[in-house]
């Protein structure tokens, strides 16, 4: 008595791989969007990941354990197949993420020319680089103005520069980079706060 031929296990497996790779591609896009644009696509990672997992597991199960010949795949082969399918996109994602972050940091490395041309949001991306490159405490007011230009707000012993939403996802109030001087116009503190 012949068994009815079930669908080719390769179809199940290929579908599972396609779903998993599509999900990993979306993760890469969402992380890129979050880094460069502070986009919201990352909030769907968990939901899509759950869908991908729920789809991937049964599809691969059917592919390997319910093929029409009723032959089980050898455990060593199964481990190799799973490792290949799962690890290749993870390695690609990590590599892409490292390169994308490096490119972002290069693009938003502070220079006075970039700062002067930038709007408030771009200044919010440049400010961390600036603070690493130029610890201001102990510097003079003239040195600060040489680096950052005229302030958006100036008081007798302080300068303030608007830096947009900075790292806030929901920017109710814009942020400000605030520099305080002593009576000799030497920087004694600097900080970022929401207005």
What tokens were used for 162? 């608007």
In the three-class reduction of DSSP (H, G, I as helix; E, B as strand; rest coil), residue 193 is classed as strand
pTM, 2 dp: 0.66
Q: What is the mean pLDDT of residues 53-61?
A: 72
Sign (positive/negative) of CA torsion 86, 87, 92, 95?
positive
- Structural domain boundaries of the chain? 9-107, 112-194
pLDDT of residue 40: 75
Q: Cα Rg for the chain, rounded, in angstroms?
A: 27
pLDDT band of 71, cuts 50, 70, 90: low
Q: Where are the alpha helices (DSSP H) in the chain?
A: 9-37, 45-65, 75-107, 112-117, 120-133, 141-148
Strand order in the sheet with 158-162: 153-155, 158-162, 175-181, 187-194
Around 125, how many Cα atoms within 13 Å sit in the side-chain half-sphere?
A: 17
Express each pLDDT in 22-45 by its tens digit: 888 888 888 888 888 777 777 787
Q: How far apart are CA 65 and CA 97, in angstroms?
A: 36
Instruction: Report the SS3 class of residue 181.
Output: strand
Neighbours of 53 (CB within 10 A): 12
Instruction: Render pLDDT for 160-191 as a digit per residue (tens, 0 to 9).
Output: 999 998 877 666 788 999 999 999 999 999 99
Instruction: Give the class (CATH, top level) of 112-194.
Output: alpha beta
């Amino acid at each position: 008595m012949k068994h009815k031929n079930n669908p080719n296990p390769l179809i199940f497996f290929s579908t599972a791989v396609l779903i998993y790779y599509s999900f990993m591609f979306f993760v890469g896009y969402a992380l890129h969007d979050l880094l460069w644009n502070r986009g919201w696509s990352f909030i769907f990672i968990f939901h899509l990941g759950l869908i991908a997992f729920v789809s991937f597991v049964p599809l691969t199960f059917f592919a390997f354990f319910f093929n029409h010949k009723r032959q089980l795949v050898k455990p060593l082969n199964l481990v190799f197949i799973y490792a290949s399918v799962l690890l290749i996109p993870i390695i690609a994602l990590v590599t892409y993420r490292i390169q994308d972050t490096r490119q972002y940091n290069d693009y938003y490395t502070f220079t006075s020319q970039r700062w002067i041309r930038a709007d408030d949001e771009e200044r919010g991306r440049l400010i961390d680089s600036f603070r690493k490159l130029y610890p201001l405490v102990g510097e003079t007011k003239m040195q600060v103005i040489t680096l950052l230009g005229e302030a958006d707000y100036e008081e007798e012993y302080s300068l303030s520069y608007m830096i947009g939403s900075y790292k806030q996802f929901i920017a109710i109030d814009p942020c400000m980079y605030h520099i305080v001087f002593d009576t000799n116009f030497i920087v004694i503190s600097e900080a970022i706060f929401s207005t």
